[in-house]
Amino acid sequence: MKVYDKMLKLANKRASYFCLLDPDELDVEKTQDFARLCEDNGADGLLVGGSIMVNNKFESNLKIIKESVDIPVIIFPGIFDFVSPYADALLLLSVVTSRNPQMLIGEQVRAAPLIKHYGLESIGTAYMIIESGNSTSVQFMSSSLPLPRMKNDLAVAHALAGQYLGMKLIYMDAGSGAKYAATDEMITAVRKNVDIPIILGGGITTPEVARQKAKAGADFIVTGNVLEKNPDPKLIKEFADAIHSVNR
Ligand code: 1GP
């Protein structure tokens, strides 16, 4: 089954949990353990990527991750130098909140021939960068102004535009290490207006907040930083249980 079909199936049942692994931050020796820890404690999938590549560990780490787990391994590219065959799918992000053509279509054009070459499942994703209370790597690297955090109508308009353009997912991201995650009100407003699944990430630091965001309408909750700082199996399980408790 294609990763996207699995995601649709999950989204119809209950909220789901994705762990984000930044390949630059992982020692090759620890990568396998970390990926398995996430799977064994309830993660529904792994996102692999980051805003910038600071070393050459991406492909070797991705390969290890892919060989270590059965849950979907999905490339989450900050830049499209992250295309690789060692994954089940790739989120083909277009930064719909940006007005920088490189982020809207330029990077995707660069990536497309390689995606075709590898036969990689590509999931067109409307990527929305939301104001986070601090400056995040993704805002800086994409040279885009984030969407103001109280402007729910603007968020809805961007998400709808993504859906009408034929994108398959909405990713609402306050950016890694965000001070504030996207508000419940904004998530609910987007949820009420679009039919495609919503991924929510950036600044989720406790299982309780993760559950709250899932209740507000996010179908997939992503955590990155919090596990990088503390890769505790108990914490991963608490996140997974809190998110899975939200039924559709
Ligand atoms: C960022 O959604 C991810 O793109 C995860 O953010 O590292 O803040 O959990 P955190």
**Mean pLDDT by 10-residue block, N- to C-terminus, for the chain (248 residues)?**
98 98 80 95 95 76 95 89 93 95 94 96 97 83 88 98 98 95 98 98 97 98 94 97 97
What pLDDT does 58 receive?
Answer: 87
Q: How far is the CA of 23 from the centre of ligand 1 (A)?
A: 14
Most ligand 1 atoms within 8 A of CB, residue of 142, 176, 206, 209 to mutate: 176
176 lines ligand 1 (CB under 6 A): yes
Look-up of token digits 């560990």: 57
Q: Which of 118, 108, 115 is nearest to 167 (CA)?
A: 108
Ligand 1 center to residue 175 CA distance, Å? Answer: 5
Does ligand 1 come within 6 angstroms of the Cβ of 146? no
194 near 163, Cβ under 8 Å?
A: yes
The confidence score (pLDDT) of residue 81 equals: 77
Please tell me if the CB atom of residue 173 comes closer than 6 angstroms to any atom of ligand 1: yes
Task: Give 180 Cα–ligand 1 centroid separation in angstroms.
Answer: 11
User: What's the first-to-final CA gap in the chain, in angstroms?
Assistant: 22
In whole angstroms, what is the distance from residue 173 CA to residue 236 CA? Answer: 20
CA–CA gap between residue 22 and residue 76 (Å, rounded): 10
Q: Probe ligand 1: pick from 222, 230, 235, 239, max atoms within 8 Å of CB?
A: 222
Q: Is the dihedral of CA 106, 84, 204, 247 positive or negative?
A: positive
Find, among 248, 237, 228, the residue nearest to 10 by Cα.
248
Does the pTM surpass 0.85? The reply is: yes
> Is 21 near ligand 1, meaning CB less than 6 Å away?
no
Predicted pLDDT at 104: 95
- Residue 49 structure tokens: 């990527």
Is-contact 76 91, C-beta < 8 A?
yes
Cα of 179 vs centre of ligand 1, distance in Å, is: 11
Count CA atoms closer than 13 A to 102's CA, side-chain side. 7
Looking from the CA of residue 51, the nearest atom of ligand 1 is 4
Residue 223 beta carbon below 6 angstroms from any ligand 1 atom: yes
Q: Compute the half-sphere exposure of residue 139: CA atoms within 13 Å on the CB side of its CA.
A: 19
Q: How far apart are CA 219 and CA 80, in angstroms?
A: 25
pLDDT, residue 54, reads 66
Q: Write down all domains in the chain, each with its CATH number in brackets.
A: 3-244 (3.20.20.390)
pLDDT of residue 237: 98
Instruction: Look at residue 53 in the predicted model and tell me its pLDDT.
Output: 65
Please, what sign has the CA dihedral across residues 227, 54, 169, 160?
Answer: positive
* Distance from residue 204's CA to the centre of ligand 1 (Å): 7
Residues 6+ apart with CB under 8 A from 54: 24
Spatial distance between the Cα atoms of 8 and 21, rounded to a whole number of angstroms? 22
| Residue 72, ligand 1, Cβ within 6 A | no
Residue 87, pLDDT score: 97
> 125 in ligand 1 pocket by Cβ < 6 Å?
no
